[in-house]
């Protein structure tokens, strides 16, 4: 699909360029590929190739999508894919003018991500029983997750050689295989050391694994397995079930940092966001929380 050619135009070439330059995820790459294939098919029905598309073709395609009941988010993503494709053609001198020049991406309300309060995070971190069989592992995973804001997929894929406990940071492999360095903090390092020294060797039973967090079967912890653990710990800490989501701790990490006065660019780097606009949503959360606190505690709130 994404390798379909039309003269000297290749969708795959554009998507590979995005992967290298922007570090887009595999899911985004596949979605853009489907969007562009759909657009190419629309042009083919009109007897045109992409190089011959006019603004009216873009408008007609978008109208067809609207009438087909496409969601606002998918509609916007499709337009972003098509506009980006034509920017790619312009940069490579394949076309002289883009048919998308005067077509804007529609705005739609982004749902603010759910996050946990300081008290809820504290309860969650204390919910792992460090005396239990895998308690040190579970405690270390929770502490690292809140200290770094890693995605759960990044956490479970950590390897031993991704840690530098002496310098106090870890190396995370994010979307688009982009590496970033993230500081750990003293509490996370303390529990990592306890797990590596006292919790990991008994689980390995003399075996070997390059991965940091392992199960009783000496295999890498999976995202699904850890998600079940988070739900259990959330229930134990008395946190409402609807607030416990896979990225809840990541959202809390970002929100709490910004509330504490952290620089937005620094938070962007730690989260591994390619675009700062993705990080800016957390400033809205922090602002909303401050407004509520003002209303609740200020005599004229």
List, in sequence order, every beta strand (DSSP E) within 154-258: 163-164, 169-173, 179-183
- Does residue 83 carry a catalytic annotation? no
Catalytic residue among 139, 175, 245, 256: 175
- Does residue 250 carry a catalytic annotation? yes
d(CA 137, CA 133): 9
Helical residues (DSSP H) of 92-134, grouped into ranges: 118-125
- Does residue 236 carry a catalytic annotation? no
- End-to-end distance of the chain based on CA atoms, in angstroms? 57
- In the numeric block, the tokens 């969007």 are attached to 35
User: CB neighbours (10 Å) of residue 160?
Assistant: 11
Specify burial of residue 289 (Cβ count, 10 A radius: 0-12, 13-18, 19+): middle
Catalytic residue among 42, 86, 195, 282: 282
- Does residue 256 carry a catalytic annotation? no
- How far is Cα of residue 277 from the mean position of the Cα atoms in its chain? 13
- Does residue 175 carry a catalytic annotation? yes
Catalytic residue among 151, 200, 245, 251: 151
- Does residue 247 carry a catalytic annotation? yes
List, in sequence order, every beta strand (DSSP E) within the chain: 5-6, 9-10, 163-164, 169-173, 179-183
Question: Looking at the annotation, which residues are catalytic?
Answer: 151, 175, 247, 250, 273, 282
């Amino acid at each position: 699909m994404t390798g379909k050619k039309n003269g000297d135009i290749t969708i795959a070439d554009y998507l590979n360029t995005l992967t290298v330059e922007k570090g887009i995820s595999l899911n985004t790459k596949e979605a853009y590929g489907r969007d562009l294939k759909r657009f190419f098919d629309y042009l083919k029905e009109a007897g045109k190739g992409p190089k011959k598309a006019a603004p009216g073709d873009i408008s007609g395609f978008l109208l067809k999508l609207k009438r087909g009941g496409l969601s606002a988010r998918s509609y916007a993503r499709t337009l972003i894919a098509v506009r980006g494709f034509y920017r790619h053609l312009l940069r490579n001198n394949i076309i002289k003018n883009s048919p998308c020049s005067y077509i804007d991406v529609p705005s739609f309300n982004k749902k603010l991500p759910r996050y946990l309060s300081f008290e809820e995070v504290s309860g969650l971190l204390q919910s792992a029983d460090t005396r239990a069989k895998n308690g040190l592992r579970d405690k270390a995973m929770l502490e690292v997750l809140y200290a770094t804001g890693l995605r759960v997929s990044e956490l479970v894929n950590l390897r031993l050689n991704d840690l530098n406990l002496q310098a106090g940071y870890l190396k995370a492999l994010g979307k688009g295989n982009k590496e970033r360095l993230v500081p750990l903090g003293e509490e996370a390092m303390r529990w990592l050391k306890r797990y590596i020294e006292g919790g990991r060797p008994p689980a390995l039973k003399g075996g070997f694994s390059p991965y940091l967090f392992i199960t009783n079967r000496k295999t890498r912890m999976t995202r699904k397995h850890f998600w079940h653990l988070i739900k259990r710990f959330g229930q134990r800490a008395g946190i409402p079930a609807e607030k416990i989501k896979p990225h809840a701790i990541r959202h809390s990490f970002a929100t709490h940092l910004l509330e504490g006065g952290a620089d937005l660019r620094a938070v962007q780097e730690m989260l591994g966001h390619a675009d700062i606009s993705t990080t800016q949503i957390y400033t809205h959360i922090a602002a909303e929380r401050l407004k509520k606190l003002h209303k609740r505690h200020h005599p004229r709130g």
